[in-house]
Amino acid sequence: MDLLNSGGINPKPLLVCSGGTSSRCAAHDHWTLDLRSRFKKLIVEPEKNKIQIGGGVLMGELIEELAKYNQSFPIGLSGITGVGYILTGGISPLSRSEGLAIEKVIELSGVWGNGEEFSIKKPNSSSPQNQKNIWRALTSAAPYLAIITGLSLQTQKIPEITVIQSRVNDQQLLMLIKEAEAWPDIASLQWAWGEEIEVYIVISNKDMTSVSLIKELTMLMKGFSGLKQTNLTGLYNCPPFPNKKRANSNSNKENHSEVLGLIGPEWKSNCKEIISEITYSMRNRPNLSCHIAAQQLGGITNIKTKDTNSFIYSGAMWKPWITASWPADDKYTKQRSIDWLEKFWSRLEPYCPGIHLAQMHPHLDWHKKEIEKTFKEWLPALKELKASHDPMGNMPSL
């Protein structure tokens, strides 16, 4: 805290590591504050449907602990991500019916970029505007303003889940995307396009709607390659997605990567063009490990109370993320892969104009553009808050 306060962080910014899964939790010549060993608190309050966690808890650890109390939390597609998953929005395969992870946060504590400690509760409608703005800033833009050391989260009863997996061709994917846009909120479609195309449908078994949807999908996908259905309690033991071996033929080598998450509305009649754009970019990828995948949004994530957090995504239905990947130390392929990602982005931009800033890229040329597309008209107010709570720019820039 003294270092933050006195401007002693040099070079800036200070990097923070929770799960350590993104490319910017550590970098050459930068300080990293690694929360993974000392911020592991997990205190469940089952009677209040609440859990207090430390800033270094992994999402797998969180739901494993909650499962002991028959409780759950909408984690993402992997248990290895940390609190960074929640702080950057947190899109779960259950978000269409349960909401985003960030919407489940009810208390936050930590240290601002200027070294001052804080502890804040989710405001209500009569809270002062200043408190509402601070809460809005910390929920999805915290990595630019503060170090979050503790969170209280709302939890829910552990859900029964069915996962349907299959390998598909581009036409089958197109058909499923169109179908998924009309599904009830209890179902979401995830897909990954690497060497093969893989689909991963998650259905929470809430009522008879799920039974008839599962039946319908079983008929619709009859004869699809590798069709498999798994029934589970909670997300903890979900089959892995994407299947690394299929998404990445170079998996025996050490690869480095950069990931860009886009956000877009329903694709409806544009689906065919979008699939053509993806086919073109995938054919022209510089390295077999480069790939694209997507998660489905929509459902209750589009009925949030306006302006309550910094995840700005009005009307979103799809979050495709493009991964540029290259063998470690291969600078030539690295540059080609990043150029490929940028071109791919421009091809999908008309259909997916927003950004989900799950991985920050202050070291890349497009950082300014991705920040503007993430926070939109809320960015000037965020910058004002940064000027008062992190005036020396100890945290990553906005």
Ligand X SMILES: Cc1cc2nc3c(=O)[nH]c(=O)nc-3n(C[C@H](O)[C@H](O)[C@H](O)COP(=O)(O)OP(=O)(O)OC[C@H]3O[C@@H](n4cnc5c(N)ncnc54)[C@H](O)[C@@H]3O)c2cc1C
Q: Applying CB under 6 A, which residues contact ligand X? A: 15-22, 24-25, 35, 55, 76-78, 80-85, 87-91, 142-143, 147-148, 358-360
The CB density around residue 110, as the number of other CB atoms within 10 Å, is 21
Q: Is 361 helix (H, G, I), strand (E, B) or coil?
A: coil
For the chain, the distance separating the N- and C-terminal CA atoms, rounded to the nearest angstrom, is 21
Q: 41 vs 209, which CB is nearer to ligand X?
A: 41
* DSSP of 352-379: --EEE-SS--TTSTTHHHHHHHHHGGGH
Close Cβ partners of 22 (under 8 Å, ≥ 6 residues apart):
84, 259, 358, 359, 360
The CB density around residue 322, as the number of other CB atoms within 10 Å, is 23
Q: 22 vs 71, which CB is nearer to ligand X?
A: 22
Least distance from C-beta 130 to ligand X, angstroms? 21
Least distance from C-beta 212 to ligand X, angstroms? 27
Orientation of helix 379-389 relative to helix 129-141, angle to 10°: 100
Q: 76 vs 99, which CB is nearer to ligand X?
A: 76
Q: In this structure, which amino acid lies at residue 34?
A: D
**In angstroms, rounded to a whole number, what is the distance separating the alpha carbons of residues 90 and 356?**
10
Helix (H) or strand (E) holding 2: helix 2-6
CB 114 within 8 A of CB 148: no
Residues 75, 78, 82: CA angle, nearest 5 degrees: 70
Least distance from C-beta 151 to ligand X, angstroms? 8
Residues 92, 270, 197: CA angle, nearest 5 degrees: 55
Q: 224 vs 247, which CB is nearer to ligand X?
A: 247
CB 42 within 8 A of CB 65: yes
Helix (H) or strand (E) holding 191: strand 187-193
Q: 143 vs 234, which CB is nearer to ligand X?
A: 143
**Residue 72, token pair as written in the block:** 């759950």
Q: 177 vs 360, which CB is nearer to ligand X?
A: 360
Least distance from C-beta 374 to ligand X, angstroms? 13
Residue 315 phi, psi dihedral angles, 5° rounding: 75, 20
Q: 209 vs 369, which CB is nearer to ligand X?
A: 369
Q: 17 vs 51, which CB is nearer to ligand X?
A: 17
**In angstroms, rounded to a whole number, what is the distance separating the alpha carbons of residues 41 and 213?**
39
Least distance from C-beta 14 to ligand X, angstroms? 9
Helix (H) or strand (E) holding 117: strand 117-121
Close Cβ partners of 270 (under 8 Å, ≥ 6 residues apart):
351
**Residue 91, token pair as written in the block:** 């899109």
Least distance from C-beta 288 to ligand X, angstroms? 19
Least distance from C-beta 224 to ligand X, angstroms? 23
Helix (H) or strand (E) holding 5: helix 2-6
Q: 83 vs 137, which CB is nearer to ligand X?
A: 83
Least distance from C-beta 368 to ligand X, angstroms? 17
Q: 11 vs 128, which CB is nearer to ligand X?
A: 11
Least distance from C-beta 357 to ligand X, angstroms? 9
**In angstroms, rounded to a whole number, what is the distance separating the alpha carbons of residues 27 and 15?**
8
Least distance from C-beta 126 to ligand X, angstroms? 28
Q: 224 vs 371, which CB is nearer to ligand X?
A: 371
| Bridge partners, residue 165, by sequence | 200, 228
Least distance from C-beta 280 to ligand X, angstroms? 26
